Structure formats: structure tokens, C-alpha cells
Structure 1
């Protein structure tokens, strides 16, 4: 008997009977091992059966039709439909991944996915603006290819401070459980592995620190074991340049040499003003794209056309045509100014004179002393423009040793001095913006004059003597009164603590925190999350938060307390709040500067306003053309050495900053022209909304959206005796009131007690976002479906597999059949065939004497959701149901025809989405027959007499 059993092949989607129950055969089954899921169960209930050891033979099964005894209240009919729809994981739509993700991608975010699906080997550069959703776009491609069986392993390469964010995003939104591989975790991950085994073989999904993996030894090992799919975040930091960037570039170049490896590169700044770096980045997509650098406009249009299939770059205005403009708030910008008056004005002049003396006094001396004094002077300019607290720290810290400058008592080499001073004083380049928020050292000598400056700065704390702080306080009061929740960005740690301490005394009702680089990434996230528990909140942060942590769920305004010397940093700060998922209709951005501060004047006039004018003209932010920071240094040197700059004697805004300003203007003009040319050269043959929206709407209708989830959870919880309680702008779900078996199932997922939930994203603070793949939805759908399919279940208020009711929305007696269709999808490529299971929920109706026809799910939901107009006696109800059940055999041929038509539609969908003209492989879809009749519902016109 066992021998004959082994000769039976059960394909994905087949129904089998084993161990006293019915199962659906899943992919990855073989002739002797079956991977099975119970008819009414979910992923958690899957089992493996080894046929040679089964005591009873496994045989084919058929799905039981509803019976009259399974009739329930009419209101329970729609609940079964919702449960079926939300349970779908192996969806039958054109996108396999949508049943397995916990985010509802917007239509414009599907463009990179469709571009990727047109490529046999995915090579894509996604260069959308900050805040549009590149993480979602990249991860969605990975999830889709996993669910299509085209890849089995993937790695994300990213800067170290983004590792945990990527790990969380993959798990929370895409159900991909990845491990972080960096210096602190690699040894632990490798500890228990067999000799010769790579962590990338043992763990199919990894998030890897670029700084960890870039070294030559690790790079070579990674290339040997690298997964077949790689996402590279902040890809602009992996172009040729300094030693670190060169190592990262060599890593990616080696990975790209494998023609079968899929690579998705993500960056908001693909072109940082360096032509060679930009075209090297394009060369990772395809080697011949580097030839575009030397081609005149209009030449080799075929190559540029090829690039458009691999390169997607959208600005915020580009999103409007996708009917998704409402996804982003309106950004209102403003400028507020202060004057350097009183004691702080005098101190500023004194510090400026002192800084100038440092530079002048070192003329003619050795290079080391000249550079030390110059950096000390620039540090003083930066810190005195930030706050008295930052100025005190700078004046107290010696530049040539101690205080973390190297080994205790050791003197920095000139090269080390230049690197550290540049990191702490300047803001870095666009492919390596500085996040060092420690105040730079400015003390080169210990004199009585220096001590006088320190004492004067210490006495200036507080709004009475600090006009900049006073102006900030007034502005924050206005923001809070208007309902905004602000983030105040400053440059240095001392300034952040100085502001937070003062503001706590002024805003008694608000929770105020300072988040700086003193905290680990995890501590920063925890500190930000704590602010969400209060209605009024103000966050003071350094630029350690300007990238990596999303703030759109908690904050709606950004104040630039310190001007950044790099316009890209300003955009990053604002992009923390003004981004995908911001629920506020508008966000506010304010620049605060001293109208008579020569440092602010130079930066604002020559750098920031020029960048903004170019952005308005071209629609994109053009990175600052700074020649390794030399132009900015020259500009500030001009400020430092300019004579007769006593405050109040010369308006700084609009002042001619001489040759350095002209050099920057020339560089800006060149950058503008290159950016304009590149937007013309690389104008994409982008997919249009009409190409994408039908696919999106089809998938959304098949799987259910946020409204469907909210309706189902609300009704299911009420049906199970645990109705939701409205709470503020979300709900409380009393899980303890659920049936015991369901409580235990949720407890295994860590869900106990009263859960605060929200059905909109971002979720209300303190609540959990509930989407179709959340364990609560899965458990409710599985439980209700199990109850519906249990022929022994006599709960009169349970889920209805059958029903009849008098309703007012039909003119003829109408029977609605709820079907679950199972299809076997076969994909053959390179002589390899993959079998996959596709499932979908379909509704058909028969009105009067009309033939049986498929109806859209929204129409079926409307029919089943209609309120009964009056009671139908049980005997009449049962008679209508029995008549419909008796007709099922006569409808069987028509039902199978619908299933086969749906299979052909599915085949067309997959071919249309995945196949490029030159793509290899073939598809075949076979409907599993007979179809599963899940529910039978009879709707009788209300006017019909009993």
C-alpha cells in the first residue's frame, strides 16, 4: 500500500486527506514529503508529512460544500468573505508579495518594482528624493523576488548607523527576519558555525555594515558567499575617492562582476558634483554606462535609453501625477532673525578679534602652527555662532592634545589634526556628511585674555543675555500654540543641552529632550519614542538625528537653530519630518540666523540661498560644489580676515565677500549647468500612472485595504465577545475577553491584556498599527474560518457559510457564491521549473433566471453587507438555502469555466509584469478543480411575501 502511495504526485494547490483531516498541498513538496496547510489554518499550522512513515495512506480529498446546518445570521456572511480575503498569502494577483507585506505601497512606489520585473537580472539605481520611500521601494523588490522563488538569499549593505533601522524595516514591514553583521556581532554569529561555513550561508537574510565588510580580507570572503540579491543603501558613499570610499567601491565592483547577481542601489544624491564618481556608480549597473560621460548631448541615444530602464529618480512634484500628492504635507518655510546686541554682541566682536589675531600671529611660522591657529579661529567662529555654551567648550579645549585627541598626552600629527578639525568644524561633503557633534578644540594657548573670554561667555547663558535663544523661545511658543510639534536642530552637544535645559523652564507643560551623539543609536531611538507619550513635545537634537531615524510620526516642524554649512544637511533635517507617512497636512521649517552675524551672512548668502534658487529652478537639490571643502574654508577665511566688521556698521546679508564668493558662484553655476544637462540626458522613459494604477488597484481589491482590515477586526472582535473601545483617535482591544484558545495563540505572539491599536499609518503614538498581516488579524481570520468549516460548530452567532435574508438592494432573488480558487503556477527558466500555489477569493452571482457570472469583490461585499429589512422565519430561510445547494451540481461546469478563465487571466498578469521582450522562460497556470465553494447566500427582495 505504501509503495503505491509513493507513486501519487500531489501538486501545489491539491487537496489531500491525511491524519483524519483535509489539507492543501504547498510548494516545496516532493514525491515522498508533503508540505501541508489545514483547510482552515494559516502559516503557523503548516506541517510536513513523510509519506513512507504514514500509517494510513494519504489520498486526494474534495472540499465540503456548505450545508443548511451552517446557516447563521445574515450579518455574519460578510465576515467570512473578509476572513478569506485577509488570509490570502499566496495571492493570485500580478504581484506575489502583496500578501506578505505589512505596508500598503503607493502607486508611485511600484514603479521601481515594475522596472525591476522587466529585467532578467535586476540592476537598478533608485535616486528618489529624501522622504519619498526608497527603503520601501528597494525592499519591495526583494520581497517580490523571494515570493516568486527567483531568489532565496539577500543582503543589505548600509552605513553602520542604519543597520538596526534596516533590520526593523525588513521584519516589521516585509516579514524578512535578518541578522545584523558588523564588528560587534560577527564573532557571535560565527561562533557556532561548522568550519568553512559562512555567516551568509547560515543566515539567508543579512544587514551588513559597509564599514565592516569593506576591508580587503572581509571583502573577498563576502564576494565568495554573497547572496544573489543585494541592496546598497547610501550608494553614493561607495564611489571612488578617499580610502574608505575606494574600498567600498571595490567591494561593489566585485559584486557587480557576477552577471547573475541582482543589485539595487539606493541614494538621494546620485550626483554629488563629482562626474567620475557619478559615472562609476552607473557603471555598477552596466559597464558600458560609463561611456555616457564622454558623449555629447544627443549622441548614442540607445545607450541613454537603456539607462532609463535602470535609473529612476523622482522629485516631490513628480509624485503629484500619481494621484498621491496628499501623501506629503505642504512645507511652509520661514526665516527669523536676531541681532547681536548687548553683552553677547560685545563677546562676539571680542572672539572675532581674538580669532583674527590667532591667524595673523602665525603668519611666517611653521605650517603646523599656522594650520592649528587657523582651525582654532574657525572653530571659534562656528561655536560662538552656535551658543555661549559651545564657545566655552571650544575655548577650554586644547587643540594639540588631550580630551580625546589621541593617546593621553600625545600630540596630533598634522594630518590627524586636519582630519579631526575638519570633521568637527565643517559639515563634510555630500557623500560623507559629518555627524561629529563634539565641540572643536580652539585653545592653542592659555592666556589671561583667553580666560576673560571664557568668563564672559559663561556669564551670557540665558535669554536675557542671549538674543538668539530669546528669539528661539518666542518662535517655539508660537509653533506650540499653533499645534506644531517642533524639532530644533543644532550643531553641537553643548548647544543642545544648553537649549533643552533653558526650554524646560519655559515650557512647563511640554516634555523636552536633548538627543546627541553621546547616546548610542538604540538610546536615541528610545529617547525619541518616549516623547510620544506626551501631547506637547519638543526635541532638541544635533545632526546625529538628521539621518537614520524617522520623525514624521511625532513631529511636524523643524527649526534650524544653527545654519548648516552644507545645504544637503538642511534638506536631510527637514526630510526627517517632511516625508512619506507624515499625517499632518502641513509642516513648518524655520531658519534662524543673525542678521548682523558675518558667519551666518556668508553661509546664507553665498551657499544656502544659492542652493535654494537652483533647486527652485531645476526642481532638485544640487550638491554643493566644494572641492573637498576648500571653497567654504576660503569663504570663512575671508570673513575672518575682513577688517572693519564691527557689528552694526555693516549689514552682513548682501555684503560682497570678495574672490572666495566669486569662486563659489562660478562653481555653483557649473554645478547647475551639469545638473540641468543630466536631467536632460537621463530623463527617464518613466512608467506612467496608467501603466501602474490598474495593477495596483487589482492587487488592492484582491487582498483588502486598510478599511477592509478595520471593518473585519471590529466585527470579528465584537462577534467573539471583545468589542473594540474607541480611545482618543484609535482603539483599545481587550484581548483578555477573547476565547481561551485564541488568547493563548495571541499570547504566543506576545499580545496580551488590552492592546491599543490603530488602522491608519503612521499609528497613533502608543498604539500598534494593525494591517492585514498582523498576528491579530491572522489569528482572528484563522479562528473564524476554522469555526465556519467545523460542521460540528453549533454557535448560532458564528460565521455563516450559508444564509438567506430579505434585503432591499436586489430586485430579483439573487444567490451569491463565495469561492476560493487555487491555481498551480509553473515557471520554467534555464531548464529549471518552479511550482507555486496561487489562491484568490472570487464571488459569483445568479440573479433570477440569468446565468451565473463573476462579480467584483466590492459588489459582493455590498450585497452581503446589506442590512436585512425584516426577519426571515427559519423554515423559509432553510428552504431558500437548500434550493441553492441543490443547484450547485448544475452550476459546477460554469464554476470550473470561471476558474479556468481566472487561471488564464493570472497567466496574462504574470507574463505582463515579469517578462521583458528578451526575457527567458515560460509560464503555465493550471486551475485546481473542483473549486472550493466557501459560502452560499440567498438574497430575497424585501417586497416578496413569505
Structure 2
């Protein structure tokens, strides 16, 4: 007669020095004498973690509630008991139909942001495209929705995908305003994590709330077997237009990643300020990530606004200005009187060499076809030269070293050497454009003092940003930091100068 296991679903057990809640029990042999016990962690270190223990390998002991020891609370005002009761109440999921906006985060929610939370709660599985204009707080709305889902026990496992340059900002926003901690991972972090866990352990199940760069995960083949075995409660994709598959969707790695994750999550939130690139097919692929049945095949299926109305929210500043009040101030465009400057003779010399290099590419013989294929690099030199001599000189130097090491006979080398010599005679501070910029700053009353207007200057390259920051600081006798991050579109600040960000 088979032995009867003194366990049942719903009981608490002790195994491997941790407490677990029994979910299911299956016989692991035909005789019914050995069992596989499926459990979920209860202790702090294993809470939420699912496991299966075999009775022939592990010692499983049931927790007898009759052996519970009562400990007197000697704290002042019964603080420990009150904290315990409060913790238990907070762990109980909310079940109301309306969102509880009290204490939602460190901010003042606006009516149009609350609409996003209510729209999400109306769905059985919240799946929504937040396509509000820039500056309307899409990250805030994501935090509000996540907080409400966490309260309802529906957002224990969260995955956030965003661009590499936005990782820090998104992570800080959710933590500072909503106290939602996200563990930041990259390819190296995942590799180190795999060295610390068993071989058969899924690295995406170690942390329950993770933020990762899209570029890290879009190589689906590298992590596919892990992602296919991982379930998420909520997946958030920031700048979702990058995963819409604007090119051939079958070859678009980011789009394949998004499709895979959409099948492995209950809820999905997409955010972008540019959801539509003018092609119905691309926008349809974004909607199909939320619900494949809404637009089964965007290439052939015609759809209208009524078919997808429940899947997106798109508001512009003019639509919500009456709700935002003073938080959205009016913009006034004041054209500058002088916007052009004559190039100096040294700048003309460098520009002439760039022209000769371009002409040589067009007339080169067939044996140098590989050089002609590098036209994008040559046009890039044009852009960098128009940004600043320092930026162009940096790229020319790197390009020259690479060609001298790989192909010393390249016909491009003489032109690059001449260009490098010409650029050494140039500096941003000597350029006519820099003097025009100084003149324009003076016209608007900017002199680097504390009460002068804040100024935003855009550049496209890091080297230009470094040179411009140093030049302005030297001109107005200001202190500045020499520390920069080597990635585009990074903002830096100078004391009493304001904010300097990348793009000329």
C-alpha cells in the first residue's frame, strides 16, 4: 500500500533552510511512493520564487501552526505590532474598480495623466500605447500605471526596455517618484550573473524588476531560449517607434524582440512621441504588439481609428493646456538679426581639401571600389567640420591610424594627412561661427552671471560639446568640469551658464 504524503496544497513547509507554500503535489513514480512538490517561496530571500522539490532528494517538513510561539510586544506604543499589521495590509492587493491616487508618487497628477491609469484598469490585461507629445510626462504615466498594478498584485515582475542613453533617467524617475526599484543589466552584467547562478538557472528570473537597453536584448538569438522561458507581469518599451519594424519586419531585430516579449507578458506599455511615420503598416505593427487580433496583418489589412481606439492615448499640449496650467508656458520665437558669418581663410583651406577628397572618390578607378563604398564616412567628415574643427580632427586622426595599419597604400591617406595639417591650424574659438554665437548671446543679455537667462545650445558631437563648453567658460571666466560621457545627446551644465546639450 503506497505511503500517504502528509502534505497538501496550501500548507507551509520548510526545505533547504527556507519556508515555502505548497501549490501542487504530483507523484514522481508509478508506485506513488515518491512525489514532486511544487512550491513558491515565502521567506524574504526566496519570496515569489517557484521551485519543485523531490521527496527522495530533499527533506521536506511541514510547518505546524500549533507550534507558533507568541512573543510579547514590549515596544513603546506597540510599534512593532502596528508595523507588522501595516506590512500585512500593504501586501493585500487592492480590489476596487477605481484607482487609488492618494500617495501615488512624489508629484501632483494632472487629469489627463489620471485618464491613462483609468484606461489601463478598464482592460483585463492592460496594454496601451502612450503617444502623448514631448513634455507631457509619459514616464510619469507609466509609473502611475505600474504603481496601481503593483497595489493590485499584477506587477510583481517588471521588464523595462529603453535606449541606452535613457536608462539612467528612466530608472531614476521610477525610483525617485514612485519608489519602484529597477535593477539595471547589460550584456556584461548578464554574463557575470550567469557565472554566479547554476547553469540551468534563467538569469532573467533572478531579479523581478529589471531595466535593460533595447540594444542589449535585440540580439534575440543570444537570449531567446532564456526569454522564451520567462514570464513577465508587465513589459514597458520606451521610445517604442524603434521596435515598430519600419524596415523589413522579418529582419528587424528590435521588432522581433518586441513580438517575443508581447507573447510572454500579461500587460504591455509602449511609449513614444512619434508613433506614426506616415505609413499605416508601421503603425499597425505597433498596435499588433498590444493585440495581434486587432490588426492580424498590417501589410494587407485596412483599418481605421475605430478599430484601434482602445489601444492608444495621444494628446498634444494644446489639448491639455487648460489642465496643466502654468506648467506649460507659452513659447515665443524671436528671430536673431544676424545668422550667417563669413568663413576664414584657414576654414576655406580645410573645406577645399574636403572637396578634393570628395572629387577623388568620384573619379577613382575600379580597383579602389572599396574606398568608394566609404562615402558615408566622407560625408560624416563634412558634418563634423561644420560642427567644429576639434570634432573633425578627432575623427580624421582615428581614420588615418586605422588606414595606415590596415591599408598603407590607400589613396585616401594623402588627403587625410593634408586635412589633419589644416585642422591643426583651426580652433573653435577662432571660427567665425563662434564669434557670431558670442554676439548673439550678448544680444539676448546672457553674460554668464546668475540672473542671466538660461540658454540651451545644441551640438551633435561630443568633441564639439567639449570645445564649446571650454570656450564659453574661458570667455566668461567660469568654472567647468572636464568630465564627459562619450555618447551623443548628453546634457552637461556649467555653473552660471545654463544647460548645454548636443546637436548642431
8 Å contact from structure 2 (residues 350, 423) kept in 1: no
Post-superposition CA distance 1:4-61 (Å, at most 9, x none) = xxxxxxxxxxxxxxxxxxxxxxxx9xxxxxx9xxxxxxxxxxxxxx774234899xxx
Distance 1:515 1:410, change over 3 A: same
Please state how far the C-alpha of 1:95 moved relative to its aligned partner: 2.2
Gaps of at least 5 residues in structure 2 are 1-20, 22-41, 43-64, 79-89
The DSSP-based 3-state class of the residue aligned with 2:153 is: coil
Please state how far the C-alpha of 1:471 moved relative to its aligned partner: 1.0
1:23-62 matched pairs, under 5 angstroms: 52-55=67-70
1:195-206 matched pairs, under 5 angstroms: 196-206=200-210
The DSSP-based 3-state class of the residue aligned with 1:480 is: coil
1:349-368 matched pairs, under 5 angstroms: 350-351=352-353, 353-362=355-364, 366-368=368-370
Please state how far the C-alpha of 1:345 moved relative to its aligned partner: 5.6
Please state how far the C-alpha of 1:118 moved relative to its aligned partner: 0.9
The question of 1:505 aligning with 2:474 is answered yes
1:747-766 matched pairs, under 5 angstroms: none
The question of 1:467 aligning with 2:432 is answered yes
What corresponds to 1:324 in structure 2? Answer: 324
What corresponds to 2:406 in structure 1? Answer: 410
In structure 1, distance between residues paired with 2:287 and 2:232:
21
8 Å contact from structure 1 (residues 516, 542) kept in 2: no
The DSSP-based 3-state class of the residue aligned with 1:176 is: coil
For residue 292 of structure 2, the aligned residue among 280, 283, 287 is 287
8 Å contact from structure 1 (residues 179, 205) kept in 2: yes
Distance 1:340 1:56, change over 3 A: closer
Please state how far the C-alpha of 1:473 moved relative to its aligned partner: 1.6
Please state how far the C-alpha of 1:468 moved relative to its aligned partner: 0.1
1:521-920 matched pairs, under 5 angstroms: 528=493, 531=494, 534=495, 536-542=496-502, 562=504
What corresponds to 1:269 in structure 2? Answer: 274
In structure 2, distance between residues paired with 1:108 and 1:131:
13
In structure 2, distance between residues paired with 1:180 and 1:245:
27
For residue 446 of structure 1, the aligned residue among 396, 402, 414 is 414
For residue 224 of structure 1, the aligned residue among 222, 229, 241 is 229
The DSSP-based 3-state class of the residue aligned with 2:136 is: coil
The question of 1:106 aligning with 2:74 is answered no
Please state how far the C-alpha of 1:108 moved relative to its aligned partner: 1.5
- Of the two structures, which has the highest relative contact order with CA contacts closer than 8 Å and spacing of 6 or more? 1
In structure 2, distance between residues paired with 1:520 and 1:270:
22
What corresponds to 1:685 in structure 2? Answer: none
Post-superposition CA distance 1:121-168 (Å, at most 9, x none) = 111111112222111111211110110223322211223333333322
Distance 1:237 1:56, change over 3 A: closer
8 Å contact from structure 1 (residues 155, 205) kept in 2: yes
Post-superposition CA distance 1:600-627 (Å, at most 9, x none) = xxxxxxxxxxxxxxxxxxxxxxxxxxxx
8 Å contact from structure 2 (residues 321, 328) kept in 1: no
What corresponds to 2:464 in structure 1? Answer: 495
Q: Select the structure of larger CA radius of gyration.
A: 1
8 Å contact from structure 2 (residues 460, 488) kept in 1: no
What corresponds to 2:385 in structure 1? Answer: 384
What corresponds to 1:250 in structure 2? Answer: 256
Distance 1:341 1:185, change over 3 A: closer
Distance 1:194 1:393, change over 3 A: closer
The question of 1:181 aligning with 2:147 is answered no
What corresponds to 2:50 in structure 1? Answer: none
What corresponds to 2:56 in structure 1? Answer: none
Please state how far the C-alpha of 1:189 moved relative to its aligned partner: 3.8
The question of 1:131 aligning with 2:166 is answered no
Distance 1:273 1:338, change over 3 A: same
Post-superposition CA distance 1:829-866 (Å, at most 9, x none) = xxxxxxxxxxxxxxxxxxxxxxxxxxxxxxxxxxxxxx
Distance 1:53 1:349, change over 3 A: closer
Please state how far the C-alpha of 1:470 moved relative to its aligned partner: 0.2
In the superposition, the TM-score normalised over structure 2's length comes to 0.70
The question of 1:338 aligning with 2:344 is answered no
Count of aligned pairs between the two proteins:
418
Please state how far the C-alpha of 1:213 moved relative to its aligned partner: 2.6
In structure 2, distance between residues paired with 1:262 and 1:294:
27
In structure 2, distance between residues paired with 1:219 and 1:197:
14
8 Å contact from structure 1 (residues 238, 245) kept in 2: no
Gaps of at least 5 residues in structure 1 are 1-27, 29-34, 36-49, 64-87, 413-441, 544-561, 563-946
Post-superposition CA distance 1:725-750 (Å, at most 9, x none) = xxxxxxxxxxxxxxxxxxxxxxxxxx
The DSSP-based 3-state class of the residue aligned with 2:318 is: helix
Post-superposition CA distance 1:364-388 (Å, at most 9, x none) = 664323233x445423422331223
The question of 1:484 aligning with 2:424 is answered no
8 Å contact from structure 1 (residues 89, 100) kept in 2: no
Aligned Cα root-mean-square deviation (Å): 4.0
Distance 1:184 1:164, change over 3 A: farther
8 Å contact from structure 1 (residues 272, 278) kept in 2: yes
The DSSP-based 3-state class of the residue aligned with 1:337 is: coil
8 Å contact from structure 2 (residues 104, 144) kept in 1: no
In structure 1, distance between residues paired with 2:417 and 2:191:
49
8 Å contact from structure 2 (residues 99, 117) kept in 1: no
8 Å contact from structure 1 (residues 154, 227) kept in 2: yes
